A and B are shown apart, each in its own frame.
Chain A
Amino acid sequence: QQQVKQSPQSLIVQKGGISIINCAYENTAFDYFPWYQQFPGKGPALLIAIRPDVSEKKEGRFTISFNKSAKQFSLHIMDSQPGDSATYFCAASPTGGYQKVTFGIGTKLQVIP
């Protein structure tokens, strides 16, 4: 079963617009929520991460919003650029001695000029 549900699976945004990707989880043991960016032929690269003790984290044009009670979190990409065109994965991992990361299905973002 899909423990981290991600939507939409594809997204087309105009240059300068806001890209929004949503994720939801069920496992209350998850307490670390990274987002990864993946370009074709490359491995996933960490973009930004959040823990549930904060409701928002911003790094440059990228913002994570987190709603612990709803078990939902989202990535906002402000002023989207063609170079942002990639596949984005939300992910989650639990507390404990290690981090087994569970990924969402991915969102293929295309930013058009």
Chain B
Amino acid sequence: DTGVSQDPRHKITKRGQNVTFRCDPISEHNRLYWYRQTLGQGPEFLTYFQNEAQLEKSRLLSDRFSAERPKGSFSTLEIQRTEQGDSAMYLCASSFDSSHQPQHFGDGTRLSIL
């Protein structure tokens, strides 16, 4: 399977704990995006990488959130001191590095905060 892969698929944790998610994009894709999707809503942009450079972060990405893409391949999204409001589906997408290229999404990591 050469699609976008995300791990884990589900994460249940207690409030206050730290969690980390991993995304493996399609190998030829330079661009990598993180989105958050809550129930009954469309995905909301969080941050974007071109190769290893993080080029934009949404206001939704508080100081508790950090994302990395150290070698321009896989990416991690870490949430520190999780809160109830962090419960959501975290989606990763990737695309080629040119205008109007479609983004290909993974199946997401569903985070539940107890």
Residues on A lying within 8 angstroms of B by beta carbon are 6, 31-32, 34, 36, 41-46, 49, 51, 89, 91, 93, 95-106
Cross-chain contact A99 with B95 (CB below 8 angstroms): yes
16 additional A-B residue pairs with CB within 8 Å, beyond A98-B56, A103-B44, A105-B41: A6-B42, A31-B100, A32-B100, A34-B103, A42-B107, A46-B103, A46-B104, A49-B102, A51-B100, A99-B95, A99-B100, A99-B101, A100-B45, A100-B56, A101-B103, A104-B42
Name which residue of chain B comes closest to A47, CB basis: B102
A-B contact pairs, 6 of them (CB 8 A): A32-B99, A95-B99, A97-B50, A99-B95, A100-B48, A101-B45
Cross-chain contact A34 with B102 (CB below 8 angstroms): yes
Least CB distance from B23 to A in Å reads: 11
Cross-chain contact A43 with B50 (CB below 8 angstroms): no
Cross-chain contact B102 with A44 (CB below 8 angstroms): no
CA distance A105 to B41 in the complex (A): 5
Confirm or deny: B106 has a beta carbon within 8 angstroms of a beta carbon on chain A: yes
Confirm or deny: B74 has a beta carbon within 8 angstroms of a beta carbon on chain A: no
Q: A98-B48, A100-B56 are in contact. Are A45 and B105 (CB under 8 A)?
A: yes
Q: A104 contacts which chain B residues (CB < 8 A)?
A: 42
